[in-house]
Amino acid sequence: MDIPAAGGLLLVDKPAGPTSHDIVAVARRALGTPRVGHTGTLDPFATGLLVLCVGPGTRLVEFLVGLPKDYLARVRLGVRTTTDDPEGEVEATSEAWQELTREEILAGLELLRGRTIQTPPRFSAKKIAGEAAHYRARRGETVVLEPVEIDVLALDLLDWSPPELELRVRCSSGTYIRALARDLGERLGTGGHLSALRRTAVGEFGLVGAITVAELENADAVARGWITPAAALGHLPHIQIGSEDAARLAHGQMIPLAAASSAEMGDGPVVVLCASELVAVVERDGERLRPRKVFQAAS
């Protein structure tokens, strides 16, 4: 299957069962390129949005991995598992959820909102001495992971059908929803685990327009769902420049700030376009723009 030379993104609605790597492998075969990556793993039992970067579009990953993510999550109270999800072994059970009130649940959720510290699940891809923690956990080793700072931007109760909660979550990249479910169960005094998860958005990208895994084999579906590199970086500030300055950037040279059509930029990455095509991502260096990553080949 022919893909645009500049590469781009595809939004895929992952089903339950396959790993994120399995989806990448399918995409590589279907699209005829080994250059396929993603911007954030979904566990095998989870469904929803997987953002694939294809061809030269894999060079966009560093600008996308930090985007916030949205989820619909189901939490089963009263059952704690080794993996904090339905795939693990049951560690403990409790009937204390039968006494919970909606007000107590809302108070528990409030404690998890905002900028907090979270300990990742021991069955996770977090590295310990270069090895993923889940390998050590499966060998029965004691796994101690360092807490990390996360930001839970929204955590809303959609439904309480005892013993299960339906939640809507918006959080920073690196947040484990499994760990949120575990911590909520601990705060409520019942224990709990994540029983279902669906990712609904990554940054401004949602499930609208996402294709199925089967549609990766369909050239028309891929064409309809294709996102250009320029559109993929729409969350960053952008400026327009002329062809001569575009050529300089393509050669790795800095250009004067005055060459840009807009000076409304901070100190972070800025997308540079020429005739709506992505030329480079730059950073301000005094009164000049320094190329951080060049996407348009020098001619």
Q: Report, as residue numbers or ranges, the catalytic residues.
A: 43
Please list the alpha-helical segments (H only) found in the chain: 20-31, 102-110, 133-138, 177-188, 219-225, 229-232, 243-250
What phi, psi does 43 have (nearest 5°)?
Answer: -60, 155
Q: Give how far Cα 182 sits from Cα of 22, 153, 203, Å.
A: 27, 18, 25
The conformation of residue 138, written as its DSSP 8-state character, comes to H
The residue type of 148 is: V
Instruction: Name the one residue in this structure whose structure tokens are 């989806």.
Output: 23
The residue type of 285 is: D
- Which among 54, 45, 56, 52 is positioned nearest to 18, based on CA atoms? 45
